[in-house]
């Protein structure tokens, strides 16, 4: 049974978010277990390929999930999207994907 959709704040991921992001990834068996350096590269605007890293926060500013995608003009590739278990089934992954 799914919970009611939860509207989250979607914003760019920063280096200060990496511990929370990595904790979510570690808690999910299907999430890639990337080292910190991979997330840091995703935050670098000069990295090739160009990437976008976003995260979702709930009303209490808790990190609920994140997404990383790479761009190869004119295409894009979703590298990972993950939502913490306690926030799943609330439409957060859809919000991240749309952003």
d(CA 15, CA 43): 7
CB contact at 8 A, 90 and 5: yes
What's the confidence (pLDDT) of residue 12? 95
pLDDT digits (tens, 9 = 90+) for 43-75: 988 888 889 999 999 888 899 999 999 988 888
What's the confidence (pLDDT) of residue 67? 96
Q: What is the pTM of this model?
A: 0.88
């Amino acid at each position: 049974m799914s919970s009611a959709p939860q509207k989250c704040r979607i914003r760019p991921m920063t280096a200060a978010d990496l511990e929370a992001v990595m904790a979510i990834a570690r808690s999910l068996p299907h999430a890639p277990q990337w080292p910190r350096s991979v997330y840091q590269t995703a935050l670098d605007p000069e990295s090739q390929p160009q990437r976008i890293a976003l995260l979702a926060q709930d009303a209490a500013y808790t990190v609920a999930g994140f997404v990383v995608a790479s761009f190869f003009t004119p295409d894009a590739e979703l590298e990972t999207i993950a939502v913490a278990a306690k926030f799943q089934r609330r439409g957060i992954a859809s919000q991240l994907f749309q952003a």
